[in-house]
Amino acid sequence: MSHLVKANEKNPLTETRSILNSVLSYFLQPVRSLRTYDRRNLRPDLLAGATGAITLLPQAIAFSLIAELPPEMGLYAAIVGTIIGALWGSSRQMITAPTNTTSLLVLSALLNAVVPGDNQFFVVASLLALMVGALQLIMGLARLGMLVNFVSHSVIIGFASGAGVLIALQQLRPLLGLAFTSRNSLETLYNVFLHLADTHAPTAALGIGTMLIVLILRKTKPGLPAAPTGLILAGLVTFILKLDRAGVQVLGSLPGGFPPLADLSVLADLDLLAPLATGAFALAAIGLVQTAAVSRSLANHTGQRLDSNQEFVGQGLANLAVGFFSGYPAAGSFSASAVNFRAGARSPLAAIFTGLFVLAATSLLAPLAAYLPRAALAGVLVLTAYGMMDWKEIARIWRGGRGDAVIMVVTLSGTLFLKLEFAVLSGILLSFALYILRTSTPRVQAVVPDETFRHFVHRPDKPLCPQLAILNIEGDLYFGAAYHVEQAIQQYIAQHPYQRFFLLRMQNINHCDLSGVEMLENIIQQTRNRGGDVYMVHLRDAVLAVMKSSGFYDYLGADHFLSDDGAIEHLFYKVLDPAICIYESNVRVFKECQNLPRPDYPVSISRPTNARRSPVARLSPQELWRGVYNRESIPLLVLDVREPREFKRGHIPGAQSAPLLALVDRLQELPPDSRFVLVCRAGWRSLQAAHILQEKGYTRLAVLEGGMVAWEAAKLPEAVEYPHA
């Protein structure tokens, strides 16, 4: 039968064909979208496209100025990115275009490779788009879309806030008509104050006036596109008053027509790729995270189910196309996508219409840009920068977990004082580090029943059962967390040495690997060596499957996997020792033990909470066995303080029965010069007996470590008293 392929073996040819089909399906997204298009959506999509173009056109120009690139490059990126991103993306309403954050990152990345103003500066911007697109496409085809889930929201908030400050500082110079150069944000701020007296009044009036108009329109006419209206009015004022002749800097006429192909001869210059690599990685990462955030925000309103991998492919193809057609890197735009959604867009065709309308506008309105003042665009960008700082979200993160706050502060600080690509990557690395830290240190908590005995809660103030510990493991048992969980359980055992039985609640464990299995085996072996055992409840199917396939299920025993509802009842009646409950403990933790009698000692006994802090000496079973048969000059007297019925079932040869309740009455029978070794079942009663004897002046005391449970586990001889026939 060796020539037959087993059913469970994978066929390499079938696997290869499946992978190719999966890859091909990503590129067929436009076919699927057009095939399922509802013609009733054509009119609302067309209107949404026109509305979106009104917002996107001035944004694309303004954001290109952040990157210190020609305005037409922003328009080319908006046209091509929007159309390609809509065709191959998964979101129905998202717009892919230049954004404020990516523009700032583009400038930082370009400064590592070329000098601003150089003709090569613009060509390298397109090369950067190609590099970003290639990285994003590879990540999408490799199905790495889930990686965005591991980047903390705090990275975006921290970077957006820092970028907002940098953009605002960057625009102060053109806003006020100042002339100086700066290397960083602090130097920019210093130069603004230093040259404030040189402010060009007409330029400042146009810039600040545009800001006031935009703010007033947002308050009084929220339905009107405030920024485009403010820019149009500023352009009209410049044209009518001929302010361009008075020293007001204007954009100048824009080239119209379809985006031209980029001169990509720089691809042969390998020396350019290395300095651009870090920036390309940062742009690819922040672009994908921002895109995911935009698409998810829209999906929350529409109920659309997104495909992160398809979105990665869409962003990758969009940036590749942008690079070929003389643009610079683009990403999902918060503002443009929100306008598209509010305008009633129902399908990706609305974004395609937006790109086409922007293309038409660049041809028809390009000459009018000759009078658009640079200061007016700077004013709009300052308002945009302020809007990037989400104060409510910053406050919420600050009040929340410490880890998220640290990530936000580090990313924000890095954005202000480091190279932007390093700031982004440091924030992302911190996110991964925080995720690893959280998943590798799951909490292990002891729980007890609540007042209704229906739920288990973590209540450190409530007493614990002297025999049974119930532990919640709140996290996965994989190789990174196994050691931490083992240490936590061992620490708990050390702090509660007389709890010999453990019930592990596993409902919060979604994954368990071989390292987790081996850790559990170590705990079980350690517990069984102490005369105890381990039981489990509420295992998920995937975890139980791993335990069965690894042999752990048989190692622990099928009868040790209990139902959640009947676990305590089973352990109480079939595992725990009722003598300990009755004679050793005043605590009644479970519903099943509420009606048990409580011990009534003839003297006040304060039970030690941590046996390791007790001054009473301890003997191991082996040490006691050697002492029983190798008598010293001082007589060794073994006192078994258990109940008579327990004593008769099995005791240490030569031991005397001295039940704890009657011990005080028998003190006169105990020779004062003897060395006493106190024995009970597990150790509680022997410590209590030692406390009584210490109060009466006896000092030569020791207890059997682990009691008769440890003695039996060591397989040492026992004396048994059979009833007479």
- Distance (Å, whole) CA 392 – CA 382: 19
Catalogue all structural domains in the chain, each as residue range(s) with its CATH number.
39-434 (no CATH), 443-593 (3.30.750.24), 611-713 (3.40.250.10)
pLDDT at 612 over 70: no
pLDDT at 604 over 50: no
Distances (CA, A) of 273 to 67, 109, 128, 397: 19, 11, 9, 37
What average pLDDT does range 112-122 have in this prediction?
A: 80
Question: What integer pLDDT is reported at residue 6 of this predicted model?
Answer: 43
Eight-class DSSP state of 373 = B
What average pLDDT does range 567-573 have in this prediction?
A: 90
More confident residue, 580 or 439: 439
Cβ(466)–Cβ(587) under 8 Å?
yes
- Measured over the CA atoms of residue 600, residue 606, residue 610 and residue 613, the dihedral's sign is negative
The alpha carbons of the chain give a radius of gyration, in whole angstroms, of: 38
**Residues with active-site annotation:** 680
pLDDT at 312 over 80: yes
DSSP per position, 417-448: HS-HHHHHHHHHHHHHHHHHHHHHS-EEEE-E
Question: What integer pLDDT is reported at residue 599 of this predicted model?
Answer: 62
Question: What integer pLDDT is reported at residue 587 of this predicted model?
Answer: 81
Phi/psi of residue 331, each to 5°?
Answer: -160, 175
Question: What integer pLDDT is reported at residue 634 of this predicted model?
Answer: 52
β-pairing, 561-562 with 533-537?
A: parallel
Cβ(519)–Cβ(484) under 8 Å?
no
| Unique residue bearing structure tokens 């300095």 | 275
What average pLDDT does range 358-379 have in this prediction?
A: 85
pLDDT in tens, 626-653: 876 565 545 688 999 888 888 888 899 8
- For residue 54, what pLDDT band results from cuts at 50, 70 and 90? confident
Burial 382-405 (b: 16+ CB within 10 A, else e): bbbbeebbeeebbeebeeeeebbb
Q: Which amino acid is at 232?
A: I
Closest residue by Cα to residue 703 from 640, 584, 617, 610: 617
What average pLDDT does range 206-234 have in this prediction?
A: 91
- For residue 153, what pLDDT band results from cuts at 50, 70 and 90? confident
Phi/psi of residue 119, each to 5°?
Answer: -60, -35
What average pLDDT does range 158-183 have in this prediction?
A: 87
Question: Which residues, 6+ apart, have CB-to-CB distance to 361 below 8 Å?
Answer: 53, 57
Q: Which amino acid is at 714?
A: A
- Distance (Å, whole) CA 129 – CA 125: 6
Helices 374-388 and 100-111, interaxial angle, to 10°?
110
3-state SS class at 617: strand
The least confident of 166-180, 286-300, 469-483, 522-536 is 286-300
Question: Which residues, 6+ apart, have CB-to-CB distance to 202 below 8 Å?
Answer: 177, 243, 246, 247, 248
The least confident of 175-179, 316-320, 346-350, 614-618 is 614-618
Question: What integer pLDDT is reported at residue 578 of this predicted model?
Answer: 75
3-state SS class at 28: coil
- Distance (Å, whole) CA 279 – CA 289: 15
CB neighbourhood size of 456 (10 A): 18
- Distance (Å, whole) CA 725 – CA 497: 41
- Measured over the CA atoms of residue 543, residue 547, residue 548 and residue 554, the dihedral's sign is negative
pLDDT at 1 over 50: no
What average pLDDT does range 37-58 have in this prediction?
A: 91
Read off the tokens for 696: 């009466």
What average pLDDT does range 526-538 have in this prediction?
A: 89
- Distance (Å, whole) CA 204 – CA 212: 12
Name the pTM for this structure: 0.66
pLDDT at 4 over 50: no
Question: What integer pLDDT is reported at residue 545 of this predicted model?
Answer: 93
Read off the tokens for 392: 């409510």
Mean pLDDT over all residues of the chain? Answer: 85
